[in-house]
Chain A
Amino acid sequence: RKEVEQDPGPFNVPEGATVAFNCTYSNSASQSFFWYRQDCRKEPKLLMSVYSSGNEDGRFTAQLNRASQYISLLIRDSKLSDSATYLCVVNGGNPLNRDDKIIFGKGTRLHILP
């Protein structure tokens, strides 16, 4: 099983719709989870951290399911500007190192259609 796995997509979604994608991880000791966004020909940028209780930032909701070892990202009322690749990020699970290796998924491509 890959360390971090995502559906590569693309997800083609009409503007205004709700879209969700998941990411699974293999290391049950992982403690930190993030979603990054990468626009075409740009660097990845932090979108949001994922907290155990789930968290929301405007139209974006992130959730963590430790039992099934996956995190999810929900985007409501999607905008054209949401078109990007969304990267799932999980830390290596070393409790002794606060800046442990961080593992990126290969990303899910999202296209919002006008």
Chain B
Amino acid sequence: DAGVIQSPRHEVTEMGQEVTLRCKPISGHNSLFWYRQTMMRGLELLIYFNNNVPIDDSGMPEDRFSAKMPNASFSTLKIQPSEPRDSAVYFCASSFLQTQYFGPGTRLLVL
């Protein structure tokens, strides 16, 4: 089993650019979560999907952030336009019966 796959692993971009993060959950897992982690704020839940349907997006910081899950094997988190304060590690996790398995994360740096 490949585990949760995220891409890219690292992203450096300039303020104002669009950033797209990708996630492939573990096959058979019916929930998918997007998190953001910084030293100051810890691990923050941004949004989660259950059976491809967004259930709770209250953690999405603002309209610049959007997430989609078009099918059970793929999700994207998009930031447009990006800002320096968006710099963080973004984790995707999938779960089955409440045990979460995390991907390796995407380290985003917005200059």
Hey, which bits of chain A sit against chain B, CB under 8 A? 32, 34, 36, 42-46, 49, 87, 89, 91, 97-107
Is chain B's binding surface mostly helix, strand, loop or mixed? strand
Q: Are B98 and A98 in contact (CB under 8 A)?
A: yes
Can you name 26 A-B pairs with beta carbons within 8 Å? A32-B98, A34-B99, A43-B91, A43-B102, A43-B104, A44-B100, A46-B100, A87-B43, A91-B98, A98-B97, A98-B98, A99-B30, A99-B31, A99-B95, A99-B97, A101-B55, A101-B56, A102-B45, A102-B95, A102-B100, A103-B45, A104-B42, A104-B43, A104-B45, A106-B43, A107-B43
Interface presence of B50 (CB below 8 A): yes
Residues of A within 8 A of B33 (CB): 102
Known: A32-B98, A43-B91, A43-B105. A101 touches B42 (CB 8 A): no
Q: How far is the CA of A60 from the CA of B57 in the complex (A)?
A: 35
Binary per-residue interface labels of chain B (24-61) against chain A in the complex, 1 for a CB within 8 Å, 0 otherwise: 00000011010100000011010010100001100000
Hey, which bits of chain B sit against chain A, CB under 8 A? 30-31, 33, 35, 42-43, 45, 48, 50, 55-56, 91, 95-105
Q: How far is the CA of A103 from the CA of B91 in the complex (A)?
A: 14
Known: A97-B50, A98-B98, A99-B31. A107 touches B42 (CB 8 A): yes
